[in-house]
Structure 1
Amino acid sequence: MADSGGLTRRQRDVLGAVGDSLRARGMPPTRAELGESLGVSAQTADFHLRALARKGHLRLGRQARDLELLGAEAAPSFRAVPLLGRVAAGNPLSAIENLEDVLPVPEGSGADFALRVQGDSMVEAGILDGDRVLVQQQDFAAKGEIVVALLGEGDAIEATVKRYLPAKNRVILRPANAMLEDRVVRPGEAFSIAGRVVGVIRLWG
């Protein structure tokens, strides 16, 4: 039975679950996640989302998490950024730039792309193995900022997430893990900054 707003109880549950995900995780759920939270299949979750879209309560895009609440249910707006692969928080990892997915991020976050973290060298900065770091693309950074650094040239380029500490005649890339040592870049070594880390997304489960 529909309520005074023209929605069934299940459709209200779906709207609530989408809003809960946006508030708790900063992103909407996939159909599978939505179905799991409501005890229904992903196909049933998609059916309800499409019904809500027809009624003007949300907008559906083509990607798994590309949906936006509208009207009274509207949450802060999001936009999609590309998830480009892995970056090491540990020993430098071969840079991977293939598009893996897209991630919704809040408008105003400053992020241009995201990278999946591998390793534990930044745990004391709250960046864990498996996290997605949001990166603002730029080739410079202020002292002490966390950056995505590129080391090497050509096919041998490696990427790592570290705190950027420029010093006389060298650059120090410092981990946020007391068990690990600095990576020192000396004159003549190929080094560049791909961007500045502006946020972290953690997926549970």
Structure 2
Amino acid sequence: MLTRKQHELLTFIHERIRETGVSPSFDEMKEALDLRSKSGIHRLITALEERGFIRRMPHRARALEVVKLPESAAPQSTPAKRGFSPSVIQGSLSEPAPLPDNHHSVPEGGDALTLPLVGRIAAGTPIEALQDDSNHVGVPASLLGSGEHYALEVKGDSMIDAGIFDGDIVVIQRADTASSGEIVVALVDQHEATLKRLRRKGDTIALEAANPAYETRIFPSDRVKVQGKLVGLMRRY
């Protein structure tokens, strides 16, 4: 059984990862829990890790992963990412096509659903995304919110500091708008699909990598179309 502070911290980390795709900093956690020092956060994180609720990703800053939530919070939980073995699509298309219309919506009941694995998305230099929904991947319903979703295989390393690696399967909520700071599937000039953090700056949109080896790319807003927002990630072990 978790203490109140442990539960508050776990919930805060979980919600921040869902909203931004990256775990909060120690300063953000300290402020959210109204603690005076980071040592209190370190103790809470260690306790949560020992109880199997979170795990730390080695050799990376701000890299916490929520493995499970208490049963009382199960409907909003993010399940452990172990055990998923999605089929990886290889290849590319020379011309883009609209996203399929039959992306699956979240069912009202049940523990899991099947999403179309529509192709590859670049976390690096943009590439064309495959538009083939003949492959599918099973996704726990608890990983999803409302609306329509689809899955993509990540290619590249430009989002590694956000915990997104080459070969990961990202779950995308279909959307044509996104708030500044969200990680999105962006279509540039109608033919380059990429997974990046979106920043709005006046009449321009910046697509930020989460890897210092990659530069931020800035475009007039009319050249960038949002095709979805990151809501989950699955990794094969």
Q: Under a length normalisation based on structure 1, what TM-score does the superposition of the two structures give?
A: 0.60
Measured in 1, the distance between the counterparts of 2:204 and 2:160 equals 25
Q: How does 1:44-55 map to 2 (within 5 A)?
A: none
Indicate whether 1:200 and 2:233 are aligned. yes
Which consecutive residues of structure 2, in runs of 5 or more, have no partner in the other structure? Answer: 1-78, 87-109
Instruction: Give yes or no for contact 2:160–2:210 (8 Å, CA) kept in 1.
Output: yes
Measured in 1, the distance between the counterparts of 2:124 and 2:85 equals 30
What whole-Å deviation, never above 9, does each CA across 1:45-92 have from its counterpart, x for those lacking one? xxxxxxxxxxxxxxxxxxxxxxxxxxxxxxx81111110000000011
* Aligned twin of 2:187: 150
Measured in 1, the distance between the counterparts of 2:198 and 2:217 equals 10
Measured in 1, the distance between the counterparts of 2:196 and 2:182 equals 8
Q: 1:195 to 1:24 in 2, by over 3 A?
A: closer
How far apart are residue 25 of structure 1 and its match?
3.5
**3-state DSSP class of the match of 1:138?**
coil
2:219 to 185, 200, 203: 185
Greater share of strand: 1
Instruction: Give yes or no for contact 1:147–1:195 (8 Å, CA) kept in 2.
Output: yes
Measured in 2, the distance between the counterparts of 1:95 and 1:151 equals 12
Q: Which amino acid aligns with 2:177?
A: F
Measured in 1, the distance between the counterparts of 2:179 and 2:221 equals 19
1:116 to 153, 163, 166: 153
Q: Percent identity?
A: 38
Measured in 1, the distance between the counterparts of 2:83 and 2:111 equals 10
* Aligned twin of 2:206: 172
Q: When the two structures are aligned, how many residues end up with a matched partner?
A: 133
Measured in 2, the distance between the counterparts of 1:192 and 1:28 equals 30
* Aligned twin of 1:78: 112
What whole-Å deviation, never above 9, does each CA across 1:161-191 have from its counterpart, x for those lacking one? 0001011121000000012100111255x22
- RMSD between superposed Cα atoms in Å: 2.1
* Aligned twin of 2:163: 126
Instruction: Give yes or no for contact 1:165–1:173 (8 Å, CA) kept in 2.
Output: yes
**3-state DSSP class of the match of 2:172?**
strand
What whole-Å deviation, never above 9, does each CA across 1:132-180 have from its counterpart, x for those lacking one? 1100000011110000000123xxx110000010111210000000121
Q: 1:25 to 1:169 in 2, by over 3 A?
A: closer
Structure possessing the higher radius of gyration over alpha carbons? 1
**3-state DSSP class of the match of 1:80?**
strand
Measured in 1, the distance between the counterparts of 2:85 and 2:199 equals 38
Instruction: Give yes or no for contact 2:85–2:236 (8 Å, CA) kept in 1.
Output: no
* Aligned twin of 1:135: 172
Q: Under a length normalisation based on structure 2, what TM-score does the superposition of the two structures give?
A: 0.52
Structure 1 residue runs of 4 or more that deviate by more than 4 Å after TM superposition: 26-30
Q: Which amino acid aligns with 2:167?
A: G
Instruction: Give yes or no for contact 1:171–1:184 (8 Å, CA) kept in 2.
Output: yes
Q: 1:182 to 1:29 in 2, by over 3 A?
A: closer
Instruction: Give yes or no for contact 2:172–2:230 (8 Å, CA) kept in 1.
Output: yes
Instruction: Give yes or no for contact 2:121–2:194 (8 Å, CA) kept in 1.
Output: yes
Instruction: Give yes or no for contact 1:175–1:182 (8 Å, CA) kept in 2.
Output: yes
